[in-house]
Structure 1
Amino acid sequence: MKVLLLKLSRNKFLVFIVGLFLFLGALVILLNVLLSSPVTPDKKKDIVLQIPSNTNADKIANMLYQQGLIKQPWIFSIYARYSGADSQLKAGEYILNNGQSIPEIVQTLIRGPLNVFSITIPEGYTVQQVADLLVKKGLTDSASFYETVAYEDFPYPFLRELAAGEHRLEGYLFPDTYHVGSNSDSKLIVDMMLKRFDGVINELNYVQKAEAMGLTLHEAVTIASMIEREAKYDSERSLIAGVIYNRLNLGMPLQIDATVQYALGTNRSKLYYKDLETESPYNTYKVNGLPPGPIASPGRASLIAAVNPQKTDYLYYVAKPDGTHIFAETLSEHNQNKMKYIR
C-alpha cells in the first residue's frame, strides 16, 4: 500500500511538473507574441509623442497605450523592468509608429529623441513647390528629392501604372502636416506623403467611386488637381467639377488656366494670349481632353468633388476679384462676364 501511494504521489508530482513547464512555456510564447506583435502591422501611422522629464516606465507605458502604440501597458512595463531599460528611457519628442514592436519602441526611447520638424504641405502644391519647401527647411536637397520622385520604388498599388519621370508622383504627395525627424531622407519623407494619400483614398473608397464615373484613379486625381487649382472655396468645387465633365462630354477643350501655368512652370495669376499658345500636352487650350496627369496635389475636398460633380448646364466660369466664380451656360454670357470681371 505504501509503495502504491508513493507511486501515485510521484505520478501527481510529475504531472504537476509537466503542467508547470507547459504553463510556463505557453506564458513565454504569449509574452513573445505580445512583445513582438505591433498594434497595426498593415495600417501604419506615425505618431508624435512628447515624454516629459522624470517620467517613469509605467507612465510612459500608459502614454504609449493611450496613443495606440502598444496593446497593453503592463507588457511594456514588465519588458522595460526586466530588460534593465526602465532607467535608460529618455525624455523628449519622438516620432513613433504603431507598426513598431515593444522592443523597437524601447530601443528608440533608449537612444533618445531626434530633432523633429513639423512641415505643412498646402493643398494645390506641385512637386516642384514641395521640393522647394523641403529644401528651404533643410530636410533634403533638390537632386535627391527629384531622383526619389522620378524613380524610387514604393509599395503602393496606385503607382503601378505610373511611368517613371519627373511628373510621376505629381498629385500623389498628399497635402497635410507631417512630423519629420532630422535623420529623415527623401525616400522616407516622400513615403510619408504617399502613405497618407493611400490612407485617404482607401478611406473614401476612391478607386470604386472613380470607376463608377468611368474613370481610372489617375484620371480622377487629374480632375481633382484641376479643381484644386481653380477653386478657392469648397462650396464651388463640385460645381467646377460639373463644368469640367460637361466640357469633356461635349468634346470641348477644358481651357483651364491652371494647366497652362503648369506647362509654363509658373504660378503667376495673370496669363497672356501668347501663353495660351504654349506647346505642351498639359495646355488644355491646345489639347482636348484631360492632360497626361495631375497638375498639383489635391486635398480631400477636391478629391471628393472630382467623383461627385454637381449636375449643371454651365460650360464656363470666370474668377471674380474675391476669388469666387461667376458661371455661364453660353459663350456670349461668358464674354459679358469676362468684360465685367477681368481687367
Structure 2
Amino acid sequence: MAEVRNKQVLLNDYVRGFPKESDMAITSSTLKLKLPEGSKGVVLKNLYLSCDPYMRGRMTNHERESYVDSFKPGSPITGYGVCKVLESGDPNLKEGDLVWGMTGWEEYTVLNTTQGLFKIQHTTDIPLSYYTGILGMPGMTAYVGLYELCSPKKGEYVYVSAASGAVGQLVGQFAKLLGCYVVGSAGTKEKVDLLKNKFGFDEAFNYKEEADWDAALKRYFPQGIDIYFENVGGKMLDAVLLNLRVHARIAACGMISQYNLEHPEGVHNLTQLISKRANIVGFVVGEYYHLYQTFLDLVVPGIKEGKIVYVEDVAEGLDSAPRALVGLFSGRNVGKQVVLVSHD
C-alpha cells in the first residue's frame, strides 16, 4: 500500500473583500494511495488545476443559499482539474485513464465517487490542459450561454465583457463563426490586441481607458446590442442596458466586479428590459452537461482546423496556485489561468 507525501493548498479562513495569497496555505500530509475495500471511488494524480472566478464565492461563509458550497477552512480547496487515474472502483475507469472534473487542490486526491468526472479520449494533437478550459467547464459555459440561451443569428451585434478570459475568448469566436458582429472589452492593451488580432473580434476596447461606458458602447454599437454575454455586472451591466436593441438577450454567466464587494453595486436601468422587450437569463453550467458530447462535436473539429484558438496562462507548480487564483480578481492573467501540478 503506497503512502506518499501529498502537497495541498488549504483555505485558512473565510475571506472578506479581495482574497489574498495569505488566505491560503501550502502544506503537506501523508496519503495512502489505496481505495477502501468495496469503494466505487477513484484515486487521482492531479495534473492541471483550473482557476475560476466562481471559486471566490466558495471562500465566503454563505449566509444565504448558493449554487456552490463554501470551502471548509483548514481543508484543501477544490476546483476543476485534469487528472490521471491511479486506482478505480468504477468499471468505466481504469488505471492510466485521464479524466476532468472536480478534484482537490493537491497532488493526489481520493474521491469516494466518480460522479461528475468526464473520461478524456485524449489525442496528442490537443493539449491536455485544454480540458480545464476550452474543452472543460469554461468552454461549456461559453457554448451554453451563447448557443442554447441566446440563439444568435447571422448579422446580430454581440458584446462580450471580460472578453479575453477563459469563457469570453470563446464566446467571441463562436459568435464570429455564426456570422455576428462582435466587440469585446478587457483591461489592458495586450488583451485588447489579443481580442482583435488572435481571436478575430471585430473591435475591442480597454474599459479602464473609457471614462463613460455608455458612450463607449454607443461608439462601438451605433445600432445597439442584440446579445450581451455578461461576465462583469455592476456599472457595466447598467451601461449595456442603455444600449440594447429590441428583443435583446443577455446571458448572465458571472459578475466578477461584484464578488469582492461588501455591498454590491445597484443596477439602475432595468426599465430598459421592458421597453426593449429584452430577456436576461442567469445560468449554471452544471445543469447542461448532458450536452457535453454535442459541444465536443462542435468544438474539437474547430480546434483541429485552426478555426478556434485558445490562450492559456500557465502557472508552474502547486506552490504558485494561490497567487494564480488571487490574480484573477486584478486581471493579472492573460487568457485561461491554469496551474500545472505534474507533467506526468
On whether the aligned pair clears a TM of 0.5, the verdict is: no
Please give the range of the TM-score, normalised by the shorter of the 2 chains: under 0.3
Q: Return the structure number with greater relative CO, CA threshold 8 A, min gap 6.
A: 2
TM-score by length of 2: 0.25
TM-score by length of 1: 0.26
Structure number with bigger Rg:
1
